[in-house]
Amino acid sequence: MTEKKRRYFGTDGIRGRVGDGVITPDFVLKLGWAVGRVLANGGQNKVLIGKDTRISGYMFESALQAGLSAAGVDIYLLGPMPTPAIAYLTRTFHAQAGIVISASHNPYHDNGIKFFSSQGTKLPDDVELQIEAMLEQPLVTVDSAMLGKAHRVDDAAGRYIEFCKSTIPSGVDLTNLKIVLDCAHGATYHVAPEVFKELGADVIVMGAEPDGLNINQNCGSTEPRLLQAAVLEHQADLGVALDGDGDRLIMVDHQGELVDGDEILFIIARAQQRKGIGHTEVVGTLMSNLGLEHALAKYDMNLHRANVGDRYVIEKMKETGGRVGGESSGHIICLDKTTTGDGTVAALQVLAEIKETSNSLHELRSVVTKYPQRLINVKAKKRVDLANNDEVVSAVQKIEEKLGDEGRVLLRASGTEPVVRVMVEGRDAAVTNELAKELASMIETILQT
């Protein structure tokens, strides 16, 4: 199935500004009913619902609950919980699906609905198509005796905390580590601090006072400046910044320097290899830094590049047999631990390696020498197949010849806005910048004529 066939679903559920388009209570109620009809398949099954901390979550939780009940499906309400926790609990509850009400790292005025299958993975394309087809049908409520019942899961946080702790060896604890933890005023505010504290770390918590409006506001993995300052102020060993729904992270070493998803991915892959449980195949994306590829090669590991998006990373991991994959933005997937990106679990793998090797985060990340990247967004008035444009192909070839093995060029049309992303990567920042500007200028001329 191609993305064009989807009317509502994107690569990560349905997302938008609250009150606009389909991000409304009436649509979400109908969506809940449609999901219930497709997944219940004539029986009375159960679906889990969790959410992040944005204020509109209450409204959409009620709408989904009503729609699912009308379809005859029982609902288990988890309350505010990280996205990966909902994936985990969907599996352990043997539910037909898990529903996440979240817009991830977006500001509070956005929200979205995304789904996990009974295996804790993204819904298959054919199921999404069935849900979209059901949305076109009139909403018919089941007989009153068959209405779904709602249950609140009071121990959801505790279950997930214990799961996270179980992902590192039982003999490893985090004593003598001082950590600054930024929860982005999001869904991890009441679980991530407990995970690290219960493992023995000295935890300084920030971004853990959600009010429904401050999620991701000047904090979290997309805004780590305050975390960097806090690590230096408290003379901490490192910092961890999660995003609003807890499925990605950025770290900060003791010098206040950012450690991004590429570097975290390398540390985890190298840790697995050191323990003899790793795999030579590691999955990144088209945007993963060339420095990551070269660092992995030093240890006889191969980097496979998937399209941007955790759905595509997981697909490539299953195709290559890789155990770990991720994105520069901090989506890190440890398939031997869980089924989706999990910021807390990924952080624990890094912390375990720090404890087991007695190396600092700064030392572990120093193996990766990142190459300068210049990314320029070129506005597109029209759609042009740049891959088959002779002028563009020739220009790209000349740049690649100039860069050799120490650079690369990437042209990618955005899936969310009318721009073409022009990225040039090379060892010399000045040369890289100049080549990117020249290529972007030429493409801009083509797209505007």
CA gap 34, 47 in Å, rounded: 13
Do 182 and 134 lie in a common domain?
no
User: Interior CA angle at 227 toward 224 and 233, to 5°?
Assistant: 150
Tell me the CB-side half-sphere exposure of residue 174, using CA atoms within 13 A. Answer: 24
How do residues 412-421 score in pLDDT, each as one tens digit?
Answer: 877 656 788 8
pLDDT at 1: 37
The helix (H) or strand (E) run that includes residue 30 is helix 25-40
Tokens at 205, concatenated: 């918590």
CA gap 355, 351 in Å, rounded: 6
pLDDT band at 123 (very low <50, low <70, confident <90, very high): confident
pLDDT at 308: 86
Domain that holds residue 314: 160-365
Do 200 and 322 lie in a common domain?
yes
- Among 118, 135, 154, where does a domain finish? 154
Radius of gyration of the chain (CA): 23
Q: What length is written for the chain?
A: 449
CA gap 449, 346 in Å, rounded: 46
State the residue for tokens 């770990």: 324
30-34, 152-156, 276-280: which has the minimum mean pLDDT?
276-280
- Count of domains for the chain: 3
Interval 8-26 mean pLDDT: 91
Q: Are strands 97-101 and 110-117 parallel, antiparallel or unpaired?
A: antiparallel
Tokens at 313, concatenated: 């990373």
Rounded to two decimals, the pTM is 0.92
CATH number of the domain encompassing residue 399 = 3.30.310.50
pLDDT at 391: 85
| 75 strand-pairing partners | 47, 150
Do 356 and 395 lie in a common domain?
no
CATH number of the domain encompassing residue 35 = 3.40.120.10
Do 149 and 218 lie in a common domain?
no
| 97 strand-pairing partners | 47, 117
pLDDT at 10: 81
From 333, 365, 168, select the one nearest 260 (Cα to Cα).
365
pLDDT at 7: 85
| Higher-confidence position of 445 and 133 | 133
Tokens at 433, concatenated: 């910048």
From 8, 1, 47, 15, select the one nearest 135 (Cα to Cα).
8
- Active-site pick, 69, 104, 221, 288: 104
Do 97 and 166 lie in a common domain?
no
SS3 content of the chain, % helix, strand, coil (to 5): 40, 20, 40
Say whether pLDDT at 158 is over 50: yes
At 308, give phi and psi (nearest 5°). Answer: -65, 135
pLDDT band at 54 (very low <50, low <70, confident <90, very high): very high
State whether the Cα torsion 268-13-112-61 is positive or negative: negative
2-11, 209-218, 365-374: which has the minimum mean pLDDT?
2-11
pLDDT at 43: 59
From 76, 121, 82, select the one nearest 102 (Cα to Cα).
82
Q: Is 104 a catalytic residue?
A: yes
pLDDT mean across residues, the chain? 93
From 90, 97, 102, 132, select the one nearest 12 (Cα to Cα).
102
Do 355 and 390 lie in a common domain?
no
How do residues 384-421 score in pLDDT, each as one tens digit?
Answer: 677 788 888 888 999 999 998 889 999 987 765 678 88
| 326 strand-pairing partners | 332
Percentage of the chain surpassing pLDDT 70?
A: 96
Interval 158-179 mean pLDDT: 97
Say whether pLDDT at 2 is over 80: no
pLDDT band at 3 (very low <50, low <70, confident <90, very high): very low
Tokens at 438, concatenated: 């020249």
120 Cβ contact partners less than 8 Å away, ≥ 6 residues apart: 87, 88, 90, 91, 98, 338, 339, 340
CA gap 107, 88 in Å, rounded: 25
Do 322 and 246 lie in a common domain?
yes
CA gap 174, 197 in Å, rounded: 8
- Among 118, 133, 154, where does a domain finish? 154
Interval 94-119 mean pLDDT: 95
Do 227 and 139 lie in a common domain?
no
- C-beta atoms surrounding 255 within 10 Å: 12
pLDDT band at 42 (very low <50, low <70, confident <90, very high): low
pLDDT at 62: 98
Do 86 and 195 lie in a common domain?
no
Say whether pLDDT at 348 is over 90: yes
Do 111 and 202 lie in a common domain?
no
Do 148 and 164 lie in a common domain?
no
pLDDT at 101: 98
Torsion of CA 57, 58, 60, 66, to 10 degrees: 150
H-state helical runs in 218-304: 225-233, 261-275, 290-298
Do 311 and 173 lie in a common domain?
yes
The answer to whether 205 and 242 are in contact (CB under 8 A) is: no
- Among 127, 154, 181, where does a domain finish? 154
CA gap 206, 189 in Å, rounded: 9
The answer to whether 181 and 193 are in contact (CB under 8 A) is: yes
Q: What is the 3-state secondary structure (H, E, C) of 64-89?
A: HHHHHHHCCCEEEEEEECCHHHHHHH
Long-range contacts of 38-45 (CB under 8 A, 24+ apart): 38/127, 38/130, 38/131, 38/134, 39/73, 39/96, 39/97, 39/127, 40/71, 40/72, 40/73, 40/96, 44/72, 44/73, 44/74, 44/146, 44/148, 45/73, 45/74, 45/95, 45/96
- DSSP assignment, residue 393? H
